[in-house]
A and B are shown apart, each in its own frame.
Chain A
Amino acid sequence: DAGVTQSPTHLIKTRGQHVTLRCSPISGHKSVSWYQQVLGQGPQFIFQYYEKEERGRGNFPDRFSARQFPNYSSELNVNALLLGDSALYLCASSLGGPQVRKQFFGPGTRLTVL
């Protein structure tokens, strides 16, 4: 079975630009979460979606937005990019629902903002 897939793998943008990152969860998984991982730190929670509804939002500015599609894939959008947005963006999927479940992470998108 395919794991979580993310695209693109690498991206270089300049300050002020907009970026869209994509994630496809494991087949059958209905929950997708997004995390930002700055070099040398643990991943920081950005958003969680379950059954196309937002179930959680981390402490990130409104420049960050996301959505989940009927096929459970998801997009993360970041507007007005700042140098500090340079990071590895990880998508994680799980079966979801109000239970504690293990998360399956994708390989990530490495975003560099110049």
Chain B
Amino acid sequence: GQQVMQIPQYQHVQEGEDFTTYCNSSTTLSNIQWYKQRPGGHPVFLIQLVKSGEVKKQKRLTFQFGEAKKNSSLHITATQTTDVGTYFCAVTDSWGKLQFGAGTQVVVTP
């Protein structure tokens, strides 16, 4: 099955700074979804990307799907304490089975 690698595993960010987390695959991905899991919480859907080169924005979050559909990125600008959590990328099959990356754990320092 399709596997995705996420980097970095851990990101320590000063409040107000920007950061990017990456999701990479050795094979072409049909789609990619991003989820956020707050400490002690459950994954919450953020976005789905399907098209090559697709870019989607949600306020301070920018999601991108690579031209070759082998990688994706999540960029957060002006990080806030509410951005704390673990961000997962995941690939789905046609029936919705999710294969998650290992996640990027984000810690924000005020």
Q: How far is the CA of A56 from the CA of B96 in the complex (A)?
A: 9
The answer to the question of A78 belonging to the interface, with a C-beta cut-off of 8 Å to chain B, is no
The answer to the question of A100 belonging to the interface, with a C-beta cut-off of 8 Å to chain B, is yes
Interface residues on B, range: 20 to 34
A-side contacts of B30, CB under 8 Å: 100
Q: How far is the CA of A55 from the CA of B93 in the complex (A)?
A: 11
Q: How far is the CA of A107 from the CA of B97 in the complex (A)?
A: 18
In the complex, the number of residue pairs spanning A and B with C-beta atoms less than 8 Å apart equals 70
Whether B48 pairs with A90 at a CB distance below 8 angstroms is: no
Q: How far is the CA of A102 from the CA of B92 in the complex (A)?
A: 9
A-side contacts of B31, CB under 8 Å: 100
Q: Given A35-B98, A45-B97, A55-B95, A102 and B33 touching (CB < 8 A)?
A: yes
A-side contacts of B94, CB under 8 Å: 98-100
A-side contacts of B95, CB under 8 Å: 31, 48, 50, 55-56, 96-98
Q: How far is the CA of A105 from the CA of B44 in the complex (A)?
A: 7
The answer to the question of B22 belonging to the interface, with a C-beta cut-off of 8 Å to chain A, is no
Q: How many residues of A contact B (CB 8 A)?
A: 29
The answer to the question of B42 belonging to the interface, with a C-beta cut-off of 8 Å to chain A, is yes
Q: How far is the CA of A41 from the CA of B90 in the complex (A)?
A: 13
Chain A nearest CB: distance from B10 CB in Å? 10
A-side contacts of B45, CB under 8 Å: 102-104
Residues of chain B touching chain A, judged by Cβ–Cβ distance below 8 Å, are 30-31, 33, 35, 41-45, 48, 50, 88, 90, 92-103
